[in-house]
Structure 1
């Protein structure tokens, strides 16, 4: 009996030590992201400024308001005029630079707080997280309550799938009643959106749509192969994700432009539906097949180490083996990517509301940086610079009520703004390194933004990321 008691005591002691080690490890990682905390006494924490001598690109119309002034008061755009007289406010000389709305990435996967700085550094001042977990509720609360420098965040709950599509990255629904219960729970817990995924059959999907409508919560759809593609045009579904799903599900891999026109016409008739192409994530498959050292490249150094170790390496090995076993694979992927450009061109011509999303945070699609690759692909698809910029500003503001105060430079809108050295309507690369950004009126200069990049580069939080991911699985599964 004494031996058993001694053994139990040893086990209990070991468990306590393990828990303490885990707590300390998580605390240390949290401490390392203190650089994002807003010091209420710092200059950067102010949210009232007068910007003078600035060329405003308002984005609700195709124009430039030259040599204007913009008054930001309490984080809101208060006035835009040729001349503004006001006392006791800090004046910022715009130096004849260009002012645009902050960029919005409508399809990201956030893995840690380091990534928040990467988005800001690249001019992304709002994001839509589409792989929701409990940790995102905590991050969203701190970001949206002004405790940390971060983009404005909205997030889905866990991805909803049917009973057959097994995986630790989604939640399997077994029946309509369970679907309704989950949506009610996600709404109560603070998730902003519902994400539907592969494997939802008509019966369960109907229940998801019905309850989402009752709970007044928008749906974002990664199309399910269990229902017709047109099924995703229900008014409760505010956006459809991925151009490749048009190829893979609607067209069954048949790269036929006549069949594509039928699909595009169907989408365009649904005036409430936005489309997020996420071209760069598929383009990166091609990049992985062409570059055997891509995992050691500079951009990948900014990926979360757990994702790099698991997902990035797994994807690379998959496509490395594919090209070695199939001599036509590279050409086939390249042709499908070109067809994705055709899809974007067709969506645009049909007046579908295209919203910029990158799928950042998985594979080798780097948070923040990848939005500029995505926008450049829209340019390749035939959109003008102004039309490209709309996909990451005003178009997202039409998709969800959460973003309706963003996306344009107008009086009464939230002051999420970028100061650019050159005109992005002439050169889109101007967006990649804003000299200054304003997030809810708080000013961050280029030196500060560069420091966010340095902190996130080659970070060593693999174990902490794994602990958090396991914790999420325990809570959600």
Structure 2
């Protein structure tokens, strides 16, 4: 009996120590991102400015408005004019630079607050998170309340899939009643839209669509092979994700240009459904196959430590194993990437709306940086710089109602900006290193943006990230 009491005590002490270690890790991680807090940071506290001596890339047309002034009041664009002389707002001289709407990445996976700074440092002022977890609701609230500075943050609920598609990264549905319940629950809890995933059956998909339509709750879909590809063109579905799924599903892994034309016809016939291609994440498979030291690259230091240790490594191992047993894999992946570019070219020629997304935050796709690579692929597919920039600005604003107040520089829109020395319509590359970023009128200058990058690269929050993911497994399953 005495031994049992001692053992129980030891177990209790061990549990207590584990709880204290976990709490300590989370507290330390929160303190590590204190540089993102708005209150107490004089550089971030104002959201009212008069920007002078600036050239505007409005994204309402392929043009530049030269030598303008922009008045921002309480984070919103109040006036745009050649001269504004009656304002008492603090003046910021843009030095003849170019003011562009902040960029939107429509497909990301966020793992910690450090990544918020990385997005801003790359000119990304809005993100659409497509793997919702409890931590994202807290993150969304903190950003919305302007407690922390970050890109405007919108998130799906947990990924909804069917009974045969197992995995701890999605929510399996088994009945239509469960589908109705989960859609309503996610709406009530504050998620912004539904994400349907790979294994969802037609019956369950119908239930999700029915309930989402009733609640006016947008759906974003990762296509499922359980229904025809044409099924995904429903009024409730605002974007279809991944160009690669065009090859994998309706084309059945064949690089068939005739069948591709049929898919292009589908998109052209349904203008309210946009494609979010995520070309960069697929191209990164090619990089995994051809760059032996990719996991030690400087770019990978921007990934969350848990993802780098688990997902990045697993993907490297997977494709290294495939390469050792299949001598054709490198050329096949490259050929499919090139086919994706052809798909974008054909879709663009038919005036299909594309919204830029990257799948950032998983594999070897770093937050923020990847969006510039995505836009570069669009120009390779035949878009002009202006047309490529539309996919990350004005096109997203036409996708969800909650994005309609951004994407262009117009009176009444949010003051989400990138300031660059040179014109991005001449060279999109200038957007990679902004002189200043503004989100809801709060100005972040270059030295602070550089600090955001450095803090993210130096973070060591693997345990804290694991604890937050464990919370997701407990709460959502």
Q: SS of the counterpart of 1:80?
A: strand
Alpha-carbon distance in 1 for matches of 2:43, 2:341: 44
Please state if 1:290 is matched with 2:316. Answer: no
> In structure 2, how many angstroms separate the alpha carbons of the residues matched to 1:323 and 1:337?
17
SS at match of 1:250: coil
For 2:66 and 2:25, locate their aligned partners in 1 and report how far apart those are by CA, in whole Å. Answer: 52
Match of 2:203 in 1: 203
How big is each residue's C-alpha offset from its partner over 1:63-82, in whole Å with a ceiling of 9 and x where there is no partner? 11100110011100000111
Query: For residue 32 of structure 1, what is the aligned residue in structure 2?
Result: 32
SS in 1 for 2:409: coil
| Secondary structure in 2 matching 1:383 | coil
Shift of 1:215: 1.6
Aligned position for 2:119: 119
Q: Answer with 68-77 or 314-323: which moved more.
A: 314-323
Q: List per-residue Cα deviations over 1:160-216 (Å, max 9, x = no partner).
A: 000001111001101111111111110110000100011111110000000111121
Task: Give, in angstroms, the shift of residue 41 of structure 1.
Answer: 5.8
**Counterpart of 1:314?**
314
Q: Is the 8 A contact 2:43 2:444 kept in 1?
A: no
In the alignment, is the contact (CA less than 8 A) between 2:53 and 2:68 conserved in 1? Answer: yes
Question: How far is the alpha carbon of 1:10 from its aligned partner?
Answer: 2.6
Give the Cα separation in 1 of the matches to 2:212 and 2:171: 16
Is the counterpart of residue 230 in structure 1 residue 230 in structure 2? yes
Quote how far apart the aligned CAs of 1:7 are.
2.7
**Aligned-residue offset at 1:14:** 2.0
* TM-score, normalised with respect to structure 2: 0.99
For structure 1, the residue ranges without an aligned partner over 5 or more in a row are: none
User: C-alpha distance in 2, partners of 1:41/1:324?
Assistant: 53
In structure 2, the partner of 1:99 is: 99
- Equivalent residue for 2:416? 416
Q: How does 1:353-372 map to 2 (within 5 A)?
A: 353-372=353-372
Equivalent residue, structure 2, for 1:78: 78
**CA shift for structure 1 position 356:** 0.3
Distance 1:390 1:457 in 2: 30
Distance 1:454 1:11 in 2: 41
Deviation at 1:44, TM superposition (A): 2.6
2:51/2:91 contact within 8 Å kept = yes
Q: Is the Cα–Cα contact under 8 Å of residues 102 and 125 in structure 2 kept in the other structure? A: yes
Partner of 1:68: 68
Distance 1:269 1:144 in 2: 36
SS at match of 2:249: helix
The offset of 1:2, in angstroms, is 4.1
Q: Distance in 2 between matches of 1:295 and 1:24?
A: 29
In 2, Cα distance between equivalents of 1:327 and 1:43 = 55
Q: How far 1:4 moved relative to its partner?
A: 2.9
Q: CA RMSD in A?
A: 1.0
TM-score by length of 1: 0.99
Conserved? CA contact 2:199–2:224, under 8 Å: yes
